[in-house]
Amino acid sequence: MPQNSVADIGVIGLGVMGRNLAANLADHQATVAGYDLDEERRAAFAAVTPNGVPCTTPEELLAVLKAPRVVLLMVPAGAAVDSLMGSLLPALAAGDVLIDGGNSHYADTRRRAALAAQAGVHFVGLGVSGGEEGARHGPALMAGGTSEGIARVAPLLRAIAARAPDGTPCFARVGPDGAGHFVKMIHNGIEYADMQLIAEGYHLLRHLGGYSYERLAETFAAWQGSELASYLMEITTHILRTTDPETGGPILEIIQDTAGQKGTGHWATTTAMELGMPAPTIAEAVHARCLSALKAERLHAAGVFPPPPSAPAPDDLAAGVGDALLCGRAAVYAQGFAVIAAGSARFGWDVELAAVASVWRGGCIIRARLVDRILDALTRAPDLPNLMLDPHIAALLARGEAGWRRTVAAAVTAGQPVPAMASALAYWDGYRSGRLWANMIQAQRDCFGAHGYERTDRPGMVHTRWNQ
């Protein structure tokens, strides 16, 4: 039995993320108690965590923690978190801190924070990004909770966080209760969209441009040395250079063209709709994964519908794809930050968008050179309604517009689906249009449902008797 009051933090859930976060904490001189139902996971925790304290029950883990006790839950979102809270809260004392480091829905986190507050326990909803490697060596951490509760765990979290290029820890309190998980949810939505953009770029160069994998890798490597630099671009270059050990051919040739999802992209999409804030490219990325899953239907349809007549690829296809990737990424970040701002306003969180951008400069999956531009924009104008209005980002879009349009047009002509590139372009075109098509929609709604409409020449709602 371990000695009492020896551990600085307890980690419940010693899967890949929990175990690696525990080892990261231990690297920074924290004594970590660990518990998991699985004995093998407890053994693995002990093997990678110097001075770790393996525990066989949650009660034992609580007993070895220093006061005020800090417990980090790294279990699947949903029922598992509620079940653990139900057993832990009665055993915790006022002033203790309970952290949920999983991908929980922000609404669940708000509910759990209120429940914990009734017991005097601080509840922190912690968005953790960076995957296995990030958890082990430095993730991006987005915390939601009370100032007092987060202050108690900030030294630990700041120590294990990734470092931005200027040395700043990629950790911040972004707001109360569910704000941390909300920001992480939108992070994942942006991640979905950026991955889809890159996949479309690869697919166009391969199937429209006829690029070899060697040329593809060279092209993406060159982009990695430009304004397009990002973690996702880096790993894409590595993927393009990877061969399958069984066949000796490019590994992408033997990977099935269906993609799964765990739900955060769906949450980001539905939340944006609930807030009335457009995030079409995030939505299209989710839909694209759903479409990819219809493999049998797609194979059948491919035999039913002939492809359009072949058309030559533009000579400057790679340059245009690069423009589409960079402009699309800018539009996706603009969508994501607009949704965060809308959520902050709806729930009274007062999220500092510049702090979010600062956290996303390192450790997380969507870290990119563009984030530095975004941080500069939000530092100059914290209340900027949309990132595309920043003069520097607007100039980026203007420079890439022609190539972006050529790429989308070439893809459509060739029958190559580019839902992310096209929706990002439509978002930008729609946002910068002084007059859209919604007058027809207002008229239609009033004609069939007497919903009324607004006139351009005076305020107020009016109704036309269309059938007279």
Could you give the dihedral angle defined by the CA atoms of residues 325, 326, 329 and 330, in that order, rounded to the nearest 10 degrees? Answer: -150
Residues 325 and 448 in one domain: no
Q: Is the pTM of this model over 0.75?
A: yes
Catalytic residue among 59, 184, 246, 284: 184
Q: What is the CATH number of the domain that holds 452?
A: 1.20.5.320
CA distances from 98 to 71, 112, 282 (A): 5, 10, 31
Q: Which residues of the chain have pLDDT under 50?
A: 1-2
In this prediction, residue 312 carries a pLDDT of 83
Tokens 């069984």 belong to residue: 246
Range of the domain at 416: 185-431
pLDDT at 391: 97
133, 148, 191, 401: which one is catalytic? 191
pLDDT of residue 2: 46
- Concerning whether 191 is annotated as a catalytic residue, the answer is yes
Q: Smallest Cα–Cα separation from 416: which of 330, 325, 313, 327?
A: 313
Domain CATH number, residue 303: 1.10.1040.10
HEC-encoded secondary structure of 248-315: CCEHHHHCCCCCCCCCHHHHHHHHHHHHCCCCHHHHHHHHHHHHHCCHHHHHHHHHHCCCCCCCCCCC
For residue 363, tell me if it sits in a domain: yes
What pLDDT is attached to residue 51? Answer: 86
Task: Let me know if 60 is a catalytic residue.
Answer: no
Residues 92 and 241 in one domain: no
CATH of the domain at 69: 3.40.50.720
Which of 129, 159, 177 lies at the terminal end of a domain, its last residue? 177
Q: Are both 196 and 333 inside the same structural domain?
A: yes
Distance (Å, rounded) from C-alpha 140 to C-alpha 25? Answer: 14
Q: Are residues 327 and 462 in the same domain?
A: no
Contacts of residue 32, defined as CB under 8 A and 6 or more positions apart, other chains included, come to 7, 8, 9, 10, 11, 22, 25, 26, 49, 51, 52, 53
Alpha carbon of 435 to those of 413, 431, 456: distances in Å? Answer: 28, 10, 11
Neighbour count for residue 212 (Cβ, 10 Å): 12
Number of structural domains found in the chain? 3
